[in-house]
Structure 1
Amino acid sequence: MTDASAPLHAVEALIFDMDGTMIDSMPSHAQSWQVFARRHNLEFDLDDLMRRTTGRNGAECMRELFQRDIPDAEAWTLIAEKERLYRELFGPIFTEVAGFKTFSGQALARGLKVAVGTAGDQDNIAFVLSHLQLPSSPHAIVGGDEGLPGKPEPAIFLEAAKRMNTGARACIVFEDSPFGIEAAHRAGMRAVAICSTHTPAQLAGPHVVASVRDYNELMNSKFLENLHVATS
Structure 2
Amino acid sequence: MPNQAPYALIFDMDGVLIDNTAYQARAFQLLFRDLGLTTNARRLLERQNGMPATKILETVFASDVPKKKLTTYADQREFLYRTIYWDKRKEVAGLTEFLKASRAAGFKIGLGTGSGLDTIGYIIDHLDIRQYFDVVITKDDVDKGKPHADTYVLTARELGVPPERCVVFEDALVGEQAAYKAGMRCIALSTSVKPDKFQAPLTVIKDFTDFTPKKVVELLEQHPNVPKPSKQMANRQYMQA
Quote the sequence identity (%): 29
Give the corresponding residue for 1:28. Answer: 23
Please point out which of 90, 94, 97 is paired with 2:89. 94
Give the corresponding residue for 2:229. Answer: none
Whether 1:214 aligns to 2:219 is no
Report the AA paired with residue 154 of structure 1.
A
Please point out which of 128, 134, 143 is paired with 2:129. 134
TM-score when scaled to structure 2? 0.82
Measure, in 1, the Cα distance between the counterparts of 2:109 and 2:149: 17
Report the AA paired with residue 97 of structure 2.
T
* Alignment: residue pair count: 218
Measure, in 2, the Cα distance between the counterparts of 1:67 and 1:103: 44
Relative to structure 1, the CA distance from residue 147 to residue 183 in structure 2 (aligned partners, 3 Å threshold; closer, same or farther) is: closer
Structure 1 unmatched ranges of 5 or more: 1-6
Q: How does 1:33-112 map to 2 (within 5 A)?
A: 33-112=28-107
Higher relative contact order, chain-length normalized (CA < 8 Å, sep 6+): 1
Relative to structure 1, the CA distance from residue 10 to residue 200 in structure 2 (aligned partners, 3 Å threshold; closer, same or farther) is: farther
What SS does the corresponding residue of 1:66 show, helix, strand or coil? coil
Measure, in 1, the Cα distance between the counterparts of 2:51 and 2:130: 29
**Comparing 130-139 with 22-31, which one deviates more in the overlay?**
130-139
Please point out which of 189, 199, 204 is paired with 1:204. 199
Note the C-alpha offset of 1:129: 1.3
Relative to structure 1, the CA distance from residue 133 to residue 44 in structure 2 (aligned partners, 3 Å threshold; closer, same or farther) is: same
Relative to structure 1, the CA distance from residue 187 to residue 17 in structure 2 (aligned partners, 3 Å threshold; closer, same or farther) is: same
What SS does the corresponding residue of 2:74 show, helix, strand or coil? helix
Whether 1:114 aligns to 2:106 is no
Contact residue 7 and residue 108 of structure 2 kept, 8 A: yes
Report the AA paired with residue 199 of structure 1.
K
Contact residue 46 and residue 193 of structure 2 kept, 8 A: no
Relative to structure 1, the CA distance from residue 140 to residue 157 in structure 2 (aligned partners, 3 Å threshold; closer, same or farther) is: same
Note the C-alpha offset of 1:96: 1.3
Structure 2 unmatched ranges of 5 or more: 221-241
What SS does the corresponding residue of 2:17 show, helix, strand or coil? coil
Report the AA paired with residue 155 of structure 1.
D
What SS does the corresponding residue of 2:75 show, helix, strand or coil? helix
Give the corresponding residue for 1:223. Answer: 215
Q: How does 1:147-158 map to 2 (within 5 A)?
A: 147-158=142-153
TM-score when scaled to structure 1? 0.85
Measure, in 1, the Cα distance between the counterparts of 2:122 and 2:161: 27
